[in-house]
Each structure stands twice: as structure tokens, then as C-alpha cells.
Amino acid sequence: MNWTLLTDFFSTLDPLYLKLGCAVFASAVLGLEREYNGHAAGLRTTILVCLVPAFAVIACNTLTEPTALGRVIQGVFAGVGFIGGGVILKQDKTDTVRGVTTAAVLWMATVLGFVFGLGLFKLGFTALVVAAFVVYMLAPVAHLFHTRHRATLTVTASDGALTAKQGAEILAKIGLRVVINSFDFNIAGGVHVFRFSITYRHRDTPELPNMVRDAFAPLPGIRHINWS
């Protein structure tokens, strides 16, 4: 990239609109990918998150206190932390955590807002290129790997309806690695309670608890199945 031509072009524009325009452009590049893939924080959220620090830094130019900029940066990052925490979700029935990449994109958009607000255009566009490469180009690579997850399956069955070995064999047929944690016998209720510690590798896991329930449900004597 010819930074000389880029700098010459920037010098002809109003500094205020230039900083805000670069912030909008950079955040739009990152936000479009989130919007296209249907994530919680999409194009509009990413642009707004980037504009907040850009406006804050520009407003700090009117302040004479030396520590004002540092306090503003701390405050903005604290606010973005709440937004980032709001987009991170844990699936109810699996240990899959979603939204971490979206939160990281918002964090990156915040940094870009500060950088462009300070007029550091070379650093800002360099950071944008790196971030865009990670968001757009590394996503297909990440989907090639199946992350490891863990869960605990509790099966309550009538006396004689199921053995620990049979339960482990059923889970193995689905492709799950199983360790039998414990099993209890309730004399009063006449039921066995089996607890299986499961390790599995699936990229998308929301359907897995239903698959397990469907595998055990046809067995006579199964009282209750709980996935946690």
C-alpha cells in the first residue's frame, strides 16, 4: 500500500469528518461479516461501538487536564465490556459458548475508534487489515476443527432395565467417549441412577442432547434422562 498517496489524500479532507469517516468504514468492514452470519452484534452495533471512542477522543481535545484522555479510555472500555459480556451466551443443554468472537470484534472496533479518533490512520488501517483477515479468512479454517466438549448424562431407569455397560455402548454408537462416573440404586423407588461423564467432538452441538434422549427413550423402564 502506498502510504504517501493515502496521506496526501487525507490531508485534503476536514480532520473531523476524516476521523469519523475512517471509523465508520473500518467498523463497517468488520460489522458486515457479523451481520451476514446472523450474530447478535451486527453492522449497526459495530459501527456505533467504534464511533463512541472516536467521538470521545475528539471531544477530549477540548479538555486541558492531562489525565482526561486516560480516564475517558478507561470508561469507554468498561462500557464495551458490558456490551461484550451481553453477546456471549452459553447453550442451556451443552457447554458450548457462543459470541466470544463477536465480543472480540466489538473490542477491536473500540480500539479502531480510539486510533482513528487520535488521527493515527496508518496504524488504524494496518489494524483493520489484520482484523479483517482474521474475521473473514480464518473462519473457514476454524470450521475444519471439531472442538472438544464435556457433559454429564444422568439416566434414571427401573431396576433391571439398564446396565452401565449397556448405557456406555449406546453412547459409543453415537460417537461419544464415555466414562462411567457412578451409579446408585434407590431401594425405596426401585430405580437405578446412572451418571456418565461424556467427552465429544462436535462443532455444532445443540442437537446432541436430543440425539442421546432418542437413543435411550425406546428402552423400556427408562424413567428420566438429564443432560448437563
* DSSP characters over 46-98: HHHHHHHHHHHHHHHTT---TTHHHHHHHHHHHHHHHHHHHH-EE-SSS--EE
Joined grid coordinates for residue 228: 448437563
Could you tell me if 51 and 20 are in contact, meaning their C-beta atoms sit under 8 angstroms apart?
yes
So what's the pLDDT on residue 74? 84
Cell 468504514 maps to which residue? 25
Kindly report the backbone phi and psi dihedral angles of residue 137, in degrees, each rounded to the nearest multiple of 5, phi listed first: -90, -30
Q: Which three cell numbers stand for residue 122?
A: 496508518
Q: Helix, strand or coil for residue 128?
A: helix
Section 85-95 average pLDDT: 60
Residue 203 pLDDT greater than 60, yes or no: no
Q: Which residues contact 160 (CB under 8 A, 6 or more apart)?
A: 221
pLDDT tens-digit map of 153-180: 888 888 777 877 788 888 878 777 766 6
Pick 96 or 224 by higher pLDDT: 224
Position 194 pLDDT exceeds 90: no
Whether 62 shows a pLDDT value over 80: the answer reads no
β 97-98/191-201 pair status: unpaired
Where would I find the H helices in the chain?
3-11, 15-36, 43-60, 68-87, 100-117, 121-132, 138-142, 164-174, 208-216
Task: Average the pLDDT over 47-53 and give the result.
Answer: 91
Could you report the per-residue pLDDT of 6-48, keeping only the tens digit for each?
Answer: 666 656 566 888 899 999 999 999 999 888 888 778 889 899 9
pLDDT above 90: residue 226: no
In the sheet with 177-186, reading across from the earlier edge strand, the strands are 177-186, 191-201, 148-158, 222-227
| 70: confidence class by pLDDT, cuts 50, 70, 90 | confident
Strand ranges (E), 130-227: 148-158, 177-186, 191-201, 222-227
Q: Alpha-carbon distance 150 to 214, whole Å?
A: 19
Q: Are strands 89-90 and 191-201 parallel, antiparallel or unpaired?
A: unpaired
Mean per-residue pLDDT for 84-100?
64
Choice among 26-35, 50-59, 89-98, 105-114 with the minimum mean pLDDT: 89-98
49, with CB counted inside 10 A (0-12, 13-18, 19+), is: buried
Per-residue pLDDT for 184 more than 70?
A: no
In the chain, where are the structural domains located? Answer: 3-142, 148-227
> Is 148-227 assigned to CATH 3.30.70.260?
yes
